[in-house]
Amino acid sequence: MAAPFRVYSEPIHNEEPIAEPTVHVRLGDLLPLVAQAFRGNYLWLHDFLDDEVAITSDLYDVLQTFRCYRPSA
């Protein structure tokens, strides 16, 4: 006997507006926590990997330079 065919409606997605950042944190306080969560492979960290963060332009320049840096052997 064949299983009955069921039709489900598409779930309703509540499109809530994205909240603007309201908390300012020092990078020195944030990095150790993120590094520990990364090393421990905490699943909650994956929920935030697509989030954007705002940084100063000089930090951005340093990070871009560091990204291309390859230490000599």
Full residue range of the structural domain in which residue 38 is found: 27-68
**pLDDT value, residue 1:** 60
Q: Is residue 39 part of a domain?
A: yes
**pLDDT value, residue 44:** 93
The DSSP symbol for 44 reads H
Interatomic CA distance for residues 35 and 41, integer angstroms = 10
**pLDDT value, residue 47:** 92
Q: Which residues of the chain are modeled with pLDDT < 70?
A: 1-3, 5, 7-8, 11-14, 16, 18-19, 21, 72-73
What's the pTM value of the predicted model, to 2 decimals? 0.58
Q: Is residue 47 part of a domain?
A: yes
Q: Is residue 32 part of a domain?
A: yes
Q: Is residue 50 part of a domain?
A: yes
Residue 15 in contact with residue 7, Cβ under 8 Å?
no
